[in-house]
Chains A and B, each alone.
Chain A
Amino acid sequence: MDLGYNPMKLPVCSIRKEILLNQDDVVIRCRGLVKRYGDVTAVDGLDLEVLRGECFGLLGPNGAGKTTTTEILEGLLPADDGDVTVQGLRWGESDAELRQQLGIQLQETLLPAKLTVTEVLRLFRSFYHNGHAVQEILDTVELNEKKDAWVSKLSGGQKQRLAIGCALVSEPDILFLDEPTTGLDPQARRKVWEIVEKFKSGGKTVLLTTHYMEEAERLSDRVAIVDHGKVIALGSPRDLIGRLGGEDVVEFSVEKGVRLPDAGDLESLTGVQSVLIQDEMVRLSVAKVHLAVPALLEKLAETGAQLSMLTTHHATLEDVFVALTGRHLREA
């Protein structure tokens, strides 16, 4: 899909702000990260800095290189190129020290099926010098009622909360969450979010990987949008959405065989900030939806075009991703 031009005129990222940061506040830093699998470059010169006490979201479609990046930062994969520091330490030099400080939840870990919730937490607790009592974690992840149940008897959401419990049991400074709510129903997802928010409220740092824009918007202080192994936009969710120029998005398409109004004509409509025409679909970023829609209808009536579809919604990170890449998060 060739967009031809970048109608949203998005700045790629605001580097200036980070240079001014106190270096002590940067807990994870990576520069020029590269990882290749054969001919495929999964991570292609990725830079990022995560600040103490923030929840930093890596948002992108499947296959964007988020998990690879995370696992390099977690010291589970060697990078082909680039420099990584976590808490000012480097993998390969201070592994034992780093492992004590990090709480890690991986995608799709099958915890021992025939152990109880308590037994699994006790096992993970035994790996760390310091940490929470198992009972505290049971309370935190709301698994008290299930504490004597085998892992195999837990629901998807309960298993995921237990996996997060295993990451929290060491009282970590940094929590890595890789797609923590993939495959969960909305209620189970909200419970996970509450746990993450509780952890963050203690001034701790979270690095979150997700392809759900609601999750990134709700949990993240800052989001890096990742595509093809690179950060293509960076900022707070509000900031990124704001760069679209309008708070709302109007999408419409017209009956076949009728000429659409020109992009320029549409952009000059009242309240319309920018226009993206993609196949049959037209997306307008609008500031005042109550003015923009009547203006649009009037314009269409002028040109004799019949609407076949019209929707409006509040702009989300999804719209930011579409504006940047012409693709949706889910379709990669």
Chain B
Amino acid sequence: MKHSRHSLIELTMARLKEFWREKEIVFWVFCFPVLLSVALGLAFRGQSEVLIRVAVLDVEGAAELAKSLDEHESIDCFLLTEAESVVQLRNGDVVMLVVPGNPHSYRYDPTRTESSFARLLVDDALQRGAGRQDLLLGKDDYVEQVGSRYIDFLIPGLLGLNIMGSGMWGVGFAVVSMRAGKLLKRFLASPMRKSDFLLSFLLSRLVFLLPEVICILGAGYLIFGVEIQGSILSVLLVALVGCIAFSGLGLLCGTRIKTVEGAQGMLNLVMLPMWIFSGVFFSTKNFPEFMQPVLKFLPLTALNDAIRAIMLDGASLASTAGGLMIVVAWGVIPFFVALKIFRWN
């Protein structure tokens, strides 16, 4: 045999086989996000069913007060001693303590959203119980429409998170473990084209991107009925851009690290902040105003914003171009820096 397949194809096939045969990685890439979405989707389904847990300090006349509060449809009320209340408030088992008296006092942590809400709710119930008449009548109109629930917010975030994770680990970690095992040096000792080697990582990532997207969006649709308002092709294109970007960033992270442990540390250092600050599980608007410009320029924030705009608001690909430019910049610049400083042995 005097001919053989092109090395780019062989390298890509090798990457794909190694990935597929590593059952642990398959779990993290395909099963974990689905399980996470199921768990979170169940935890945050139907907020209206959740009862606010408050306590009344067990003094004279407290039992009657507690009983009247407990009758409220959204309040679950307990009688607690002083000592019990300290522990339960600290643990978050109850979110507020009512100390009966004249006036009643409300003991709670104002930085906890749930506690502040409990304060309003309890005060309202007590005022009404005391005979207050509302001057204005309001009617509740609960939002249960598909596209506005927590799970609708979550699924695009999980897709972004997964694209980041598989790109960074799939390239950054793989490169470092090859270096640690001196396989990179062995490749350097052969006439292998370095561009083929690097491209093979990108190609293998792209091959696995489609099943990843289908897995997460499919689970979202089948289990929770999460729909895509915009074009599915646009979602795929945005995912593609994200995949390329995080592959580049992953390569940069793995470009000089010598040990597998070092790679784990480095990748976590880069990715963990984005788990929190990039609007995966909750909106970035929860962070103070002065942080917003920084958060907006994180690659995962930009990617998540673009996916959400298309999936939830039905935005066109063109209207997400600004965010996509940020994502592209995060991929291209690290890629070329990585090429400059890459260490083969």
Contact = CB atoms under 8 A, between A and B. Distances in A.
B18 A99 contact: no
A308 interface: no
Interface of B: 1-2, 4-7, 9-11, 13-14, 17-18, 21-22, 180-183, 185-186, 188-192, 345
Contacts of B5: 122, 126
Contact of A112 (B14, B185, B345): B14
Given A114-B18, A114-B22, A99 B191 contact: yes
Contacts of A309: none
A123 B183 contact: no
Given A112-B14, A115-B14, A125-B4, A74 B183 contact: no
Contacts of B13: 119
A168 to B, nearest CB: 12
For chain A, which range describes its interface: under 10, 10 to 19, 20 to 34, or 35 or more residues?
Answer: 20 to 34
Nearest to A75: B189
B190 A114 contact: no
A108 interface: yes
A85 B226 CA distance: 66
Contacts of A111: 183, 186
Contacts of A133: 1
Given A74-B189, A133-B1, A106 B14 contact: no
A109 B183 contact: yes
A40 interface: no
Contact of A76 (B1, B18, B181, B345): B345
A23 B10 CA distance: 40
Contact of B14 (A100, A123, A128, A130): A123
A115 B17 contact: yes
Counting chain A CB atoms within 10 Å of each CB, the highest count among B5, B17, B191 belongs to B191
A109 B17 contact: no
A128 B6 CA distance: 10
A150 B18 CA distance: 10
Nearest to B8: A126
B182 A109 contact: yes
A126 B7 contact: yes
Contacts of B185: 76, 106, 109
Given A76-B189, A106-B186, A128-B191, A112 B18 contact: yes
